[in-house]
Structure 1
Amino acid sequence: MLFLGLVAFSVLSELALHLLADFSEFFFDRSPLLGIAIVLMALTFFIIGIGGITIGSGATYLCENVTIRSVLQRTMDRFWPLFCCFLLWLLVVTILTVTVIGIPFAIYFAVRWGFFIQTIMFEKPVITIALGRSGELVKPMWWRVFGVLLAIFLLETMVHAIIEISIGFILVATNLVSEVGFIDILEWGLFGGSFEGVTPFFYAISVIIHLAVYALSFPIWIIGITLLYFNQRIRIEGFDIEMQVPQSNTIESDLG
């Protein structure tokens, strides 16, 4: 129930972005303020979702008993640092990527700063220190972290695609839907997006399926990074030994 409640925020964010992409003409051409409001709402839910899942994963790893309320409280306490740090990370990586020649640097910094969520949620540094702190954990083993992150990403992508395509194939094979074929389902599962020229009913069904599968696959990414974060701390700082030292504030300081 804990993770189900936390994932709900990420699902709401994905729904908002999905509707925004499919009806961008309406939101931005006819009602730009509504479009901006939906973008901000999607970002807010996304930040709460990733922050909450991170805290929940860390609490589970550290054998802490937490509730949805306590996790959300801790997440909201760190909302603005996480929000700003995410925008900074996204801005730098995006700018480097669009220059094309900066793509290798985009990959490098995306990995180097890959633990900014965990450092903010567990160690509570300011924004710039959070990025630097992530770099400290990644730099000695950059290639290892890159490989593990890539594996986690591929796992999440494969899980999402396999489940989504399988459900779509079942719907087509059983003639429950007639607007699309197997190729359309395959493209939908592999490349995302929405179907064109379908009935509102089928569109709603496809969105519901996508969100349900997203709720199952997205946490893989956040949980995987969180576990990798603790693993890096163990390898570099002996975090497992630190946890065994009888200090009254050890776990509290890590969970915030």
Structure 2
Amino acid sequence: MTPQIQAFFDAATSTVTYVVYDADGGDCAVIDSVLDYDPKSGRTSTRSADLVVDFVRAHGLRTAWLLETHAHADHLSGASYLQQELGGPIAIGAEIRTVQNAFSHVYNCKDGHNLDGSRFDHLFAADEEFRIGALQARALHVPGHTPADIAYQVGDAVFVGDTMFMPDVGTARCDFPGGSASTLYKSVQRLLALPPETRLFMCHDYPPAQREARWEVTVAEQRAANIHIRDGVGEREFVDMRTARDATLQMPVLILPAIQVNISAGHLPEPEDNGVRYLKIPLNAI
């Protein structure tokens, strides 16, 4: 069965959220949702997530899953808010525990829930199969960007997270804790071994000035034209390129608030005795 797919592009973070569903009135999964956050004022809003809520309700969909491809460093997850509005379990790859532990010293985590994955409702084992209503799906473990990255294969579509970007943008950085350019190369090769007509859906697009944002491409197009990892690019060449490039990149603007929230399944810190929630911004820790 061919999945129905609706994309929502958040220009502020260049993130694409997807609603994947079997049919109107059926079941859906929401992949990589966004909670709007203004780092200057510290204000959050649910504008982006409410677009998803409105779509799900307008099409009479039941929310079977709220899926995260990994713990994002560039936006805050809207999964907790969507769960309040739409229901459905929040799920991520089981290696999120590795990421939680890697960042535990950064945030001085003392809450065991932020170390054992239990803030998430389900942790996918590598290549675990699951269903979205009538749709058969599989959680492909594709580490490299982080140890926990998952690509979700649903019919002829694969939601690749941050393994790859559009062909003229290339691939994701590998210099976060637990990242590995060599591992990413192997993960991408696994995706590029899928049938040429397989549709790949990006989590982000950072388009060159001459084009608008896009997020769908085929395996064949990636193999022919990806500037970092097209056919003919070997592992050593890729690792050397990725390592040199990563050394020039600045930290993402939202990494400190984003990782803090996203390793907690999108749950914001509890309010303190004055009714205000506080995020930690560690100094000189990364």
Is the TM-score greater than 0.5?
Answer: no
Give the TM-score, by structure 1 length: 0.28
Greater strand proportion? 2
Give the TM-score, by structure 2 length: 0.26
**Higher relative CO (CA 8 A, sep ≥ 6), structure 1 or 2?**
1
State the structure with more CA Rg. Answer: 1
Greater helix proportion? 1
